[in-house]
Structure 1
Amino acid sequence: MASDPKFVKAVPTTKQRIKRVSGDFLWVNYQDDKSQNRESVRSKQSFVRTRHHRLQREKKSLQSKLIATPASKCRPSSSTTGVVGESTCGRYDLSSNQDDDDHFPEQSVIMPSVQVGVLDGVPDLVIQTRQNPNVYFQHYHVYSARSCFPLCPSEMTFWFWRKVLDYPPLMQIKLSISASHRAAILRASGAPALVVQKPMQDTLRLRLGMIKAIQDIFRDESKLYTESTAFAISHLIVSEGFDANKEAVEAHMNGMIKIIALTGGLNNLDGGTLSMIYSCVFLHGMIQERPPAIPMCAKFENRVLEQSTIIKASNNTMKTKASTLGARFFNAPWSNQIQPRFKALISWYQQLVSYYENLGTISAEPMSVENDCLLYLTHRLLSLPYEISLTPFEEIVRLSILVYSSIRVWSLYGMPCLEVLVGTLRKSLCKSYRTLQSTNSDLLFWILFVGSLASRGMECHSWFLAHLVDVADQLSLEGWGSAISVLQGFLFVCRSADEPAKELWNFTLRGGSMTGLGVVTTPVHNDMVIR
């Protein structure tokens, strides 16, 4: 006989209380996270307030350390390669310049990227990392996103986070890109090997996690030949491309091309997926020195030509910071050596640089099509030598524009992929240096200045700097103003806080002495630059 219900003790129905955890993360039961749950609301508000005050204290402590601790010093090799020498463009063993690795102030290399009020984005990351993964999340949010999407970081980043909800392993590859970026900046600044080792090991761990996730997809034929798979592989290629991992990039690029073909071709893909694919094409072309592995599709090209402010004629009325920007490519005595098709491409780059440098005066957030325009022009520049026959002079100009956009727009300072491109530029310069010095000295000054900015932390930096000093003497340039007047005739705009460029010029005036350089972040465009 069943017992009377009144003798049965009622089971409590109160909801599970949220566990408070001290530290960087707040664990929340999403199934129980309702707006009417007062306990949940109070817990989250308390967590945000506590973390806000802690970050404020850490920020003040960090600022005091930055003031008290001198920047690390980085010294070039005493020997300077001759004009005709073509040694490899490798890196210095910068860590050997340190007296004591334990005394290296890592915070003095990368400016604090943790923003007050920004909640942790990766509390459930499966991969074990040596550093708090939130460090990489914040680094990506503040810096790396601008290297991936320089003309519309906010829109593309939010679009990506929505993709992460459908495929969480994508978070690992984004953090891998961030860790690689952080390691490159540390290495270029002269950080000891042990300091660089942490983010480098985390880069490999996170990337391996993504590779395993993609391998799981390959076991399911229903998911293999889909757009989401191509999208995931494209992020892996970007991560490997930044590190100039040529073999891995080539293998994964070939696999992605096959998947794209079996999904119906490029024109059937989403615009965001196409943007990631052409980012892969850019990095592949940069490190492999080959024509673009994937042709420009009509869907992507038409969107850029029809919607981009950079391309449309209305851009001509935009207020520019330098009315003479790039004028020397069209009015200099040597400008007739540049073919009309190449000149048209340079003209578009003029508009792109002008647009980018005026982002601070634009009230509305740039649309993603502007970033697609950058990818489109880069694709055209990579394709150019395989479409028309370029002279050695034109090839040097083409490579110089690629280097300029890589550091002043993409902000790829310190990345291994940039090292490959700078090395290619140096080899081309070695073959034509004497001719350029005698007939195109102002152009040569711009090329060497851009090369000197881009090559910091590389073995070939002393080569660029030594020849920059020679050409500056040849042009009788005595002050920063006179140098700017020459640089602005090409693709260069002096920014209001362009301290790295100014300091490079000051070192040039002192005959190339580079003692005391480190890495800082300029407030304009959040560039990671050498100082």
Structure 2
Amino acid sequence: MPKPKKPHDTATAFQFINSTSQGPSDPEARKRIRSHVMQGKNRRRPRPAMPSWMSGDYGRHLPVDASEPAGTALSAPRTVGTDLSLTIFPDRMEPYMVKDIVDFLNVVKKALYPFEVILAPDKREQFWFNNLMIDSAYLHAVIFSTEAYYATLRGSSSSHLAVKHMLKSLNIVAERIASGDRDATSDTTISAVISLTMAAFFYGDYEAGEMHMEGLYKIIMLRGGLASLRGDAYGIQSKACRVDLGHALSTGRKPLFFADGISWDSYIATHAPIANFDPPPPRGDVVEVVNFVEKLDWRLVNIWRDLHEFAQLGNLAYQTQRQLQHDAFHEMMASIHYRLLHLLFSDSAADEAVRLGMLAFAATVFLQWVGVRLQYQRLRESLEAALRRLKNEVDDVPPWLVVWLIASGSVSVFQEVEGTWLQQWLDDTLKRVGVRSWGQARETLRGVMWIDLLHDRPGRAIFEDAMTRLASDAAVTSVARKA
């Protein structure tokens, strides 16, 4: 097996974590951060900029035209006063719609990022409100998304009004493309199609979502590809990737972007600042997991290292009250998911199980919504099948890798583990390792790959349920022996 490529000596290049006003919370963390800061300052040469994975800067060299086509920048009309209800929109709006839209966009903004508590504020989000005032296609797309969202909360199907606004948005986009309108590939047109695509997948209409996704892909290719969205004011590049990835996880189809020329080099572990820290080496059971993973396909090993590095970054940011940068967060989302989704190991049960386990774990970090568990049906089915195959075909799987795989799947995509063969495998494995407290289990899981902020609550519930079952079984066995 080819060896994973050695990280380049550019670890201090990545400005990923910003300090909040509160600063680090413990002396050891402050010491590590000071050490990292001084290492960067002690280098005489300037720190190079972090290459963009989504724009093709890292591992590939593609011509890029970052500018938006001439004439596609639309100016926002002035609002009348400061009340959004008095804003002049490009189409007729009922007063209740304005309030519903504002509430909906605020919900989406918070729900999109499970990491919101440690993500630095993203000033670009305001542009998504501003677009409502300058583009009718985007306005109707958001009205559709809003109406469909509230219909879902009520437990009803999308209303006739919601469908009407969806069709209006699609017709406007189609007219722009058919007429060769210069706004056909504008930021706001792309934003409209992203909104329609995201809404379709969120509400489980995969057929419509796939059609929207294909249309979005064609528009972005007409624009010049994902790289043409580099540095856009609205964060369109990352949102386009997000819906593409959601489409792939939901349907089992390959992502449309990055089908060719993908870089398999390590990305995060090469550049993240935590690479300059000196974390303690893995111990005991974790060493067994690391040694097992290191023997897998070298591309998978590089992704494992990146995702493990990101988990450490997330824990460090949370513990020291630091903040992650949105751009870096999205670059990591793309680099991890696209590489995992463009791999397939039909001839190796171990590689395929670890690949899908990492996808499930990464989805909880980058793609799940806060308070809403997205049903990535195909990922759930594929992971369960891969774990069954792993159990039947591989004898030397480290027990803590089994625990991590089942826990990651349970936190992410499995709807119900209790009463299934997965529950029995988890219980048997926990009994085998002899762990008795959540603190012990958590410490080992963190050594494998774990983010406290996201995984502690559901992970603890999974563990304690297992401990309750094991205690009950032990009590029954004891009574039977006495009898």
Query: Do they superpose with TM above 0.5?
Result: yes
TM-superposition CA deviations, 1:212-242 (whole Å, max 9, x none):
2231232242156313323321232222233
Which residue of the partner structure matches residue 237 of structure 2?
Answer: 274
Other structure's SS at 1:439 match: coil
| Residues 235 and 276, structure 1, Cα contact 8 Å, conserved in 2 | no
**Matched residue of 1:417: which SS?**
coil
Is 1:406 aligned to 2:382, yes or no?
A: no
Question: Secondary structure in 2 aligned to 1:488?
Answer: helix
Cα root mean square deviation, aligned: 4.5
Please state how far the C-alpha of 1:352 moved relative to its aligned partner: 1.7
2:187 is equivalent to residue 231 of structure 1: no
Residue-pair matches, total:
382
Work out the CA distance in 1 between the residues paired with 2:258 and 2:307.
20
Where does structure 1 lack aligned partners over 5 or more consecutive residues?
Answer: 1-28, 34-39, 45-118, 185-194, 514-531
The corresponding residue for 2:328 is 369
Q: 1:133 to 1:477 in 2, by over 3 A?
A: same
Q: Given residue 254 of structure 2, which amino acid in structure 1 is its aligned partner?
A: P
Question: Match for residue 240 of structure 1?
Answer: 200
**SS of equivalent to 1:358:** helix
Match for 1:334: what amino acid?
A: F
Q: Which of residues 291, 309, 312 is equivalent to 1:351?
A: 309
C-alpha distance in 1 between matches for 2:298 and 2:348 = 13
CA–CA separation in structure 2 for the residues paired with 1:355 and 1:175:
37
CA displacement at 1:401 relative to structure 2: 0.8
Shift in Å at residue 138 of structure 1?
3.7
8 Å CA contact retained: 2:248, 2:254: yes
Q: How does 1:139-178 map to 2 (within 5 A)?
A: 139-146=107-114, 154-167=122-135, 170=138, 173=141
How many Å separate the matches in 2 of 1:141 and 1:482?
A: 35
1:58-69 alignment runs, 5 A limit: none
Corresponding position: 1:251 with 2:251: no
CA distance in 1, matches of 2:166, 2:309: 38
Structure 1 residues 490 and 163: CA distance shift in structure 2, 3 A: farther
| 1:348, distance to aligned residue in structure 2 (A) | 1.1
Displacement of 1:30: 6.6
Closer, same or farther: CA 232–327 of 1 in aligned 2, 3 Å: farther
Cα distance, 1:436 vs structure 2: 4.9
1:295 Cα deviation after fit: 1.7
Of 483, 486, 493, 2:444 maps to 486
Indicate whether 1:217 and 2:180 are aligned: no
Give the aligned residue type for 2:361: Y
Q: Find 1:439's aligned residue among 397, 410, 415.
A: 397
The CA distance in 1 between the partners of 2:272 and 2:79, in whole Å, is 52
- The change in CA–CA distance for 1:123 and 1:445 in structure 2 (over 3 A counts) is farther
The normalised TM-score by structure 1 is: 0.59
- Structure 2 counterpart of 1:214, which letter? L
- Report the 3-state secondary structure (helix = DSSP H, G, I; strand = E; otherwise coil) of the residue aligned with 2:376: helix
Distance of aligned partners of 1:121 and 1:211 in 2 relative to their CA distance in 1, 3 Å threshold: farther
Distance 1:286 1:496 in 2: 20
Report the residue type matching 1:401 in the other structure. Answer: M
User: Following TM superposition, by how much is the alpha carbon of 1:419 offset from its aligned partner in structure 2, in angstroms?
Assistant: 3.5
* Residues in 2 aligned to 1:435 and 1:496: alpha-carbon distance in whole angstroms: 32
Query: Could you say which residue in structure 1 is the equivalent of 2:250?
Result: 287
Distance in 2, matches of 1:205 and 1:311, equals 50
| 1:31 CA drift (Å) | 6.5
2:480 is matched with none
Indicate the residue corresponding to 1:314 in structure 2.
273
Amino acid at match of 2:364: I
Q: Which secondary structure does the structure 2 equivalent of 1:415 belong to?
A: coil
Which residue does the alignment assign to 2:425? 467
Cα distance change of structure 1 residues 475 and 241 upon mapping to structure 2, 3 Å threshold = same
Deviation at 1:426, TM superposition (A): 0.7
SS of equivalent residue, structure 1 residue 294: coil
Q: What is the deviation of 1:142?
A: 3.0
Displacement of 1:491 after TM fit? Answer: 1.4
Instruction: Using the TM superposition, give the Cα deviation of residue 465 of structure 1 relative to its aligned residue in structure 2, in angstroms.
Output: 3.4
Residue 510 of structure 1: SS of its match in structure 2?
helix
Letter in 2 for 1:411: Q
1:132 CA displacement: 5.0
Return the offset for 1:286. Answer: 0.8
Which ranges in structure 2 are unaligned for 5 or more consecutive residues? 1-76, 472-483
Q: Distance in 2 between matches of 1:454 and 1:241?
A: 17
Matched, 1:383 2:342: yes
* Distance verdict in 2 for CA 1:160–1:408, change over 3 Å: same
Equivalent of residue 457 in structure 2, options 483, 499, 512: 499
Amino acid at match of 2:206: K
Q: Structure 2: how far apart are the matches of 1:460 and 1:497?
A: 17
Task: Give the distance between the partners of 2:79 and 2:175, measured in 1 at CA.
Answer: 31
User: How many percent of aligned residue pairs carry the same amino acid?
Assistant: 16
Q: Which residue of 1 is the match for residue 373 of structure 2?
A: 415
> Secondary structure at the residue paired with 1:316?
helix
CA distance in 2, matches of 1:347, 1:374: 14
User: Highest CA radius of gyration, 1 or 2?
Assistant: 1
Distance apart, 1:169 and its partner CA:
5.2
Closer, same or farther in 2 for the Cα pair 1:345/1:183, shift >3 Å? Answer: farther
Letter in 2 for 1:491: M
Deviation at 1:313, TM superposition (A): 5.1
Identify if the C-alpha distance between structure 1 residues 128 and 477 changes in structure 2 by more than 3 Å, giving closer, same or farther.
Answer: same
3-state SS of paired residue (1:384): coil
Pick from 392, 414, 420: which aligns with 2:349?
392
2:406 paired residue number = 448
Would the aligned equivalents of 2:101 and 2:146 in 1 still touch at CA under 8 Å?
A: no
Partner of 1:136: 104
Deviation at 1:205, TM superposition (A): 5.4
Shift of 1:379: 1.0
Specify the code of the residue in structure 2 equivalent to 1:400: G
CA-CA distance at 1:127 after TM superposition: 9.4
Kindly indicate whether the alpha-carbon contact (under 8 Å) linking 2:244 and 2:255 is maintained by their aligned counterparts in 1. yes
Change (3 A) 1:270 1:161: farther
Shift of 1:483: 1.5
